[in-house]
Amino acid sequence: MKIILSALFITILLFYFQPASAQIDSSLLNTPAKKDTAKHTLSMDAIYNRPFKKLGSSSLSIGGYVESDVQYTNTSGITNGDQFQFRRFSLFVSSTIAPHIKFLSEIEYEDDPSGDAGEAAGPEFGVEYAALDIEFNPLLNLRGGMILNPIGGFNENHDGPKYEFTDRPIAMTQMLPDTWNNPGFGLYGKKYSGHWMYGYEAYVTGGFNDSIINNSQGKTFLPAAKSSITRFNTSASGEPLYTGKLSFGNDQIGELGLSYMGGVYNTWRVEGAQVDNKRSVNVFDVNFNGTIPGLHTNIISEWAWIFVDIPPDYTPEYAHKQFGGFIDIVQPIIHGHILDWDNATVNIAVRGEYVDWNDGNFAATGQKMYNDLWSIMPAISFRPTPQTVLRLNYRRQTQNDITGNKIGAAIGPTAGLSFGLSTYF
């Protein structure tokens, strides 16, 4: 914690004293790539709506972002002290191959214990996204390759520099899998009418596997499927995962997204013989983001419901139903020229989160099954430019195990202080 306070102190000093410029302004080298079709954007555009730099006269544009932080957390009075974490380093490469034919890829190093919960063994380095887009018409685009399933808003719009919080939302990382990517194909399209925008996405991809109900978390845990990279060439169920999303946006109000993802998740046949019934997972998601006019208060929220067909003779520790989400409220309090930055912003923010990993009652007693979590996280951030954020967060969290017990080394009251940075480059 001393480290975090020291970081805060250094930040204060940096604010107070005028720094000498020792860097070439890289923005002079910056030639942003063209956006795909129009000035209006929806969450579905997030993968292209990033700062890219065009490489000379080639058709390639590159970009990326990085995230790092130091955290001090304490659960039930037990702490591991200051933890320095280099969470992500991501590189994007985009190319306009021909008119209306584009390719984008994202290669990422990731080691985020807050979004992993022990399912993956250490750092991951892999292809997060690599897809070809062919536009036949603004209402009809074909996308194929390694894609991000468009469930909710966060999965497609998750870049660290966009948020005022060092941790990703718990419901979107430990209930829904974040950066949930799969090989597959699909269609998407957009339409604009005045201030209004409409979009759709419909994909068929590879999907989940039995690990979502057979994992070291001891609970229904969709992110467990991420640890199996065999999903990139073998579908556990042999059946597609369907993902669809409808988006409705208004320049003045914000964007509402309604999405669904579902399909058979289990390996129900072995050597051609049926060994189990087909069992499905269904996810329904509502996401909203918008800005209150005048106040410039930004609100991002997403809530999801998960329904999983569990074998009838399986332990109730694995839930049929889960529910969770988050709301971020971000208020700019100072905007303008700060130090040498003309477009700097200081924000205050708060995130509220709730996750119920086991929504239901015990058959044995009729009592409620808990396994839930509440968290609130105030934050303050400084953005010298819109692409770069320094953020200081405090988390207060309470958690119950399945019986409602909240006393324990792993499930007790938790608080954490974190300081981090994230930037596009």
Chain positions contacting other proteins, by CB under 8 A: 12, 15-16, 18, 74-79, 210-211, 213-218, 266, 275-276, 279, 311, 313-317, 333-334, 338-339, 346, 348, 350, 362-365, 367-368, 370, 376, 378, 380, 382, 392, 394, 396, 401-410, 412-415, 417
Tallying the residues shown for the chain, one arrives at 425
Least distance from C-beta 187 to other proteins, angstroms?
A: 34
Least distance from C-beta 238 to other proteins, angstroms?
A: 16
If the CB atoms of residues 296 and 368 are measured against other proteins, the closer one turns out to be 368
Instruction: Tally Cβ neighbours within 10 Å of residue 408.
Output: 12
If the CB atoms of residues 321 and 368 are measured against other proteins, the closer one turns out to be 368
If the CB atoms of residues 113 and 218 are measured against other proteins, the closer one turns out to be 218
Least distance from C-beta 350 to other proteins, angstroms?
A: 7
Least distance from C-beta 126 to other proteins, angstroms?
A: 21
Closest CA to 183 of 126, 138, 267: 126
> Which secondary structure element, helix H or strand E, spans residue 322, and what is its range?
strand 321-338
If the CB atoms of residues 136 and 314 are measured against other proteins, the closer one turns out to be 314
Backbone angles phi, psi at 121, to 5 degrees: -90, 95
- DSSP label of 19: P
If the CB atoms of residues 40 and 406 are measured against other proteins, the closer one turns out to be 406
If the CB atoms of residues 252 and 361 are measured against other proteins, the closer one turns out to be 361
Least distance from C-beta 30 to other proteins, angstroms?
A: 27
CB 119 within 8 A of CB 215: yes
Backbone angles phi, psi at 223, to 5 degrees: -65, -15
If the CB atoms of residues 217 and 298 are measured against other proteins, the closer one turns out to be 217
- Residue 211, CB half-sphere, CA atoms under 13 Å: how many? 21
If the CB atoms of residues 183 and 378 are measured against other proteins, the closer one turns out to be 378
> Which secondary structure element, helix H or strand E, spans residue 418, and what is its range?
strand 414-424
Q: Give me the DSSP letters along 215-269.
A: STTSS--GGGGGG-GGGGT--SSSSPEEEEEEEEEETTTEEEEEEEEEEE-S--E
Buried b / exposed e over 129-165, threshold 16 CB at 10 Å, is: bbbbbebeebeebebebbbbbbbbbbbbbbbbbbbbb
If the CB atoms of residues 239 and 251 are measured against other proteins, the closer one turns out to be 239
CB 147 within 8 A of CB 131: yes
Least distance from C-beta 256 to other proteins, angstroms?
A: 29
Least distance from C-beta 279 to other proteins, angstroms?
A: 8
DSSP reduced 3-state for 337: strand
Least distance from C-beta 29 to other proteins, angstroms?
A: 28
Least distance from C-beta 410 to other proteins, angstroms?
A: 7
